[in-house]
Amino acid sequence: MTTTINDTEALVASVKDADLQRIGTKILNDERISFDDGVILFERGSLAYLGALANYVREKKHGDKTYFNRNFHIEPTNVCVFSCKFCSYSRLYAHKEEGWELSIDQMLDIVKSYDGKPVTEVHIVGGVHPKMTLSFFIDLLKAIKAHRPELHIKGFTPVELDYMFRKAKVSTEEGMQLAHEAGLDSLPGGGAEIFHPEVRKEICEDKVDAEGWLHIHKVAHNLGMHSNATMLYGHIESFAHRIDHMDRLRKLQDETGGFNTFIPLKFRNKDNDMSHIPESTTIEDMKVYAVARLYLDNFPHIKAYWPMLGRKNAQLTLSFGVNDIDGTIDDTTKIYSMAGSEEQSPTMNTEQLVSLIKQVKRQPVERDTLYNEINVF
């Protein structure tokens, strides 16, 4: 481990700012920090201070263990009825000839192309296509489970689910039950963006709101399903908006305990309606990971999505609270390369990922979606 308790205690004792010292003491005493504390950390916490505290919490929770997962992605369509300003990926339904839409057979062929490969999860996420209904996806889920029953299906954001449930005229509870029975095992973290309505109305006003997003995850948790949560940061949001976002998640997690992982997503500005906004610096990125680790005390895991962040910066996050790197993605996903991510071809094999983690003296652990350990390297 790179941080000892004594080092962190000494650092907290030596910090000049009384608020930062008070917050640091809370963290050392395992006390929850407040909303205002979270904002102060963003406003006044140095990178070194936030990093040391976040690393202290990370090592207390997980030691040096750094998890990864062997998964692949299916993106059923990039045609979307919504028009999020940050999205570089979707084609409006009016221009659907510029997009793609896969049939059930085509998606099953993708699943079959992984036959015999040691993947444990498929992540299904895409645009919201009006013709891809709840019954279409139920058929897809059943077909995947019939072919490979043990493959964990993590799929569909509340944006997609809310649309398909409303179109099918079923309640969230009924719709989620149907999807779960057909084979949906857990929910990914997408569609959350920034929950606060001041931001949502500027960047993604026509899709499911914060209450709707949180309700769908709550219903999934009540069915015994687990899920993730993301936050799209580094555009027009304030520090208070970020903390508000994490606070809503922390409250739901207190109620249900159903979240596994929080994934900050750095806004990338290529080819979208927010291209005029400069991207966040690496220093700001690391602060976001660190504050997330400190604020979300009831989230077991903080994940860095390396295709978006780049391999080197993903490595750096392992000193700023992160204990999970997603993933061994063998498929070439399109959503991030289209938004200008560091990785134009976001694939890494297990050996490369393991050595990336070992280079920074952490212990690589392959996990399944629910963090059961499969292999320790």
Interface residues toward ligand V47, by CB under 6 A: 86-88, 125, 188-191, 193, 228, 230, 232, 263, 265, 267-268, 272, 305, 326, 339
CA–CA gap between residue 105 and residue 114 (Å, rounded): 15
Instruction: Give the nearest distance from C-beta 23 to ligand SF4 in angstroms.
Output: 34
**Least CB distance to ligand V47 at residue 336 (A):** 7
- Chain-centroid distance, C-alpha 93: 26
The DSSP symbol for 117 reads S
Tell me, residue by residue from 143 to 162, as one string, x for binding to ligand SF4 by CB under 6 A and - for no binding: ----------------x---
| Full DSSP string of 40-102 | HHHHH--HHHHHHHHHHHHHHHHTTEEEEEEEEEE--B-EES---TT-SS-EEGGGGGGS-B-
Q: Is 301 in the site for ligand SF4 (CB under 6 A)?
A: no
Cβ at position 273, least distance to ligand SF4 in Å: 10
Q: Please, are residues 16 and 284 in contact by the beta-carbon 8 Å criterion?
A: no
| Phi and psi torsions of 264, nearest 5° | -70, 135
Secondary structure (DSSP) of 173-192: HHHHHHHHHHT--EE-STT-
Determine, following the binding rule CB under 6 A, whether residue 127 of this chain makes contact with ligand SF4. Answer: yes
Burial 168-184 (b: 16+ CB within 10 A, else e): eeeebeebbebbbebbb
* Among the residue ranges 34-42, 77-85, 292-300, 316-324, the one whose residues contact ligand SF4 (CB under 6 A): 77-85
Nearer residue to ligand V47 within complex by CB, 2 or 300: 300
Instruction: Indicate which of ligand SF4, ligand V47, none lies near residue 268 (CB less than 5 to 8 Å, by partner kind).
Output: ligand V47
Which of 31-39, 83-91, 97-105, 301-309 is the region at the interface with ligand SF4 (rule: CB under 6 A)?
83-91
Residues found near ligand SF4 in the complex (CB under 6 A): 80, 82-84, 87, 89-90, 127-128, 159, 204, 207
